[in-house]
Amino acid sequence: MRLEILHKGQKLRNRLAIRIMGAVAGGEPDDVIKTSLYRPEFFGRPWIKLLHSVMRGPSDWTPGDRELFAAFTSRLNTCHFCVGIHVNTTKLTLDPTITIERLDNWRTAGFELRILSVLELLEKFTLAPNDISLADILKVRAAGVSDNAIVDAMHIGFVFNLVNRLANALDYDYGTESDALKAASILNRVKYQLPGFLLH
Amino acid sequence: MILKNQHTQQAHQRHADEVADLLLAVLHSSGFTEPHTREAAFQGSELPALFREYVDKILGESYRITDDDIDKLLASGYSQDAIFEITVSAALGAATKRLEAGLSALKKAG
């Protein structure tokens, strides 16, 4: 990461927690976790709460659907780090055959209509938000997506348009492809949560 | 129609409290930069030239940011904490702009 404070500026309790998490999981916590643990009253505390709610809270979308939307948004934002992690979480939760190539060719990749309609909406949401129109919403509804599910998908777009920019600006790095798979597996297991005491 | 509108209103409230808490913390908690500076990064407006250039990259093509961008800010006297706060504020602004555009279109759909 480009800011040393996110590695070395953590308070002692969180430095120890990072070390313990690393020992238990067999590798250091990823850069999103480190960023969340640094001065959590500024960012990490509300961020982790929102992230858990959006990615694993009650929704019409399965965790796997949500991981696909996350990977897709990250690809649109050319976020190498988040694509690496969330293609792997999508493999674990939705479809082991998912690849970056299928994300890039999403219109012909065999996704069901509800998913396709949301990918189309997320593309505009991410690349041309001012062009989102009434017709776009009606198209997603016509594909059988409820308003609650539309709002949930937009919030996945929200959190990933945020974290993709952090990852790109601060140069998040997941290490090797094997490390990315390990990080994805941990993320899936802990459901985007961190122990509350570390965020206070 | 009334029931449909109520349903859309309820849909709009999903995650609203969590998003509000995040905005409040990033833009208004005490930090190394003044809230008005974070607000400017969030809005993408009225920043010193160097920060302006950096924030524009975050809003647009963030994957083009390099070590050099951060090094220039550090060399100009900005602390790592200030850069962290401006980075988060700008990224949050870009994401919020998108969410508002999406929810506004949904509201129009009634």
Q: ipTM beyond 0.85?
A: yes
Taking the C-alpha atoms of residue B63 and residue A175, their distance in angstroms, rounded to an integer, is 18
Q: What is the pLDDT of residues A74-114, one digit of tens each?
A: 999 999 999 999 999 999 999 999 999 999 999 999 999 99
Which pLDDT score, from 0 to 100, does residue A28 have? 77
Taking the C-alpha atoms of residue A171 and residue A108, their distance in angstroms, rounded to an integer, is 32
Domain count, chain A: 1
Q: Which of B62, B95, B104 sits opposite A158 (nearest CB)?
A: B95
Find the residue in A nearest to B107 (Cα).
Answer: A134
Which pLDDT score, from 0 to 100, does residue B50 have? 86
Which pLDDT score, from 0 to 100, does residue B91 have? 98
Q: Which of A2, A50, A147 sits opposite B22 (nearest CB)?
A: A50
What range defines the domain where residue A69 resides? 5-199
Contact yes or no for A125 and B98 at CB 8 A: yes
Find the residue in A nearest to B71 (Cα).
Answer: A2
Q: Write out chain A residues lying below 8 Å of B97, CB-based.
A: 129
Which pLDDT score, from 0 to 100, does residue B1 have? 47
Q: Nearest-CA distance from A183 to chain B in Å?
A: 21
Query: Mean pLDDT per segment of 10 residues, for chain A of length 200 residues?
Result: 91 86 78 94 97 97 98 98 98 96 96 97 98 97 97 98 98 93 90 86
**Is B1 exposed, middle or buried (CB count within 10 Å of its CB: 0-12, 13-18, 19+)?**
exposed
Contact yes or no for A169 and B58 at CB 8 A: yes
Tell whether B63 is within 8 A of chain A (Cβ): yes
SS3 category, B32: coil
Q: Nearest-CA distance from A149 to chain B in Å?
A: 8
Taking the C-alpha atoms of residue A158 and residue B94, their distance in angstroms, rounded to an integer, is 9
Is there a contact between A184 and A174 (Cβ–Cβ < 8 Å)?
Answer: no
Tell whether B35 is within 8 A of chain A (Cβ): no
Taking the C-alpha atoms of residue A193 and residue A56, their distance in angstroms, rounded to an integer, is 10
Q: Where along chain B do its domains lie?
A: 2-109
B13 HSE (CA, 13 A, CB side)? 5
- The backbone torsions φ and ψ at residue A194, rounded to the nearest 5 degrees and listed phi first, read -130, 150
Taking the C-alpha atoms of residue A184 and residue B83, their distance in angstroms, rounded to an integer, is 28
Q: Write out chain B residues lying below 8 Å of A147, CB-based.
A: 7-8, 11, 106
Find the residue in A nearest to B74 (Cα).
Answer: A3
DSSP B33: S
Closest CA to A121 of A111, A110, A133: A133
Pick from A83-92, B43-52, B71-80: least confident: B43-52
Sign of the torsion angle spanned by Cα atoms A62, A67, A68, A69: positive
Q: Which of B15, B57, B81 sits opposite A50 (nearest CB)?
A: B15
- For residue B46, pLDDT beyond 90: no
CB-CB neighbours of B110 under 10 Å = 11
Position with higher pLDDT, A198 vs B1: A198
Is there a contact between A152 and A60 (Cβ–Cβ < 8 Å)?
Answer: yes
Which pLDDT score, from 0 to 100, does residue B6 have? 60
SS3 category, B53: helix
CB-CB neighbours of B12 under 10 Å = 15
Which pLDDT score, from 0 to 100, does residue A197 have? 84
- For residue B47, pLDDT beyond 90: no
**What confidence category does residue B9 fall into, taking pLDDT thresholds of 50, 70 and 90?**
low
- For residue B10, pLDDT beyond 90: no
Taking the C-alpha atoms of residue A31 and residue A53, their distance in angstroms, rounded to an integer, is 20
Which pLDDT score, from 0 to 100, does residue A14 have? 86
Taking the C-alpha atoms of residue B41 and residue B57, their distance in angstroms, rounded to an integer, is 11
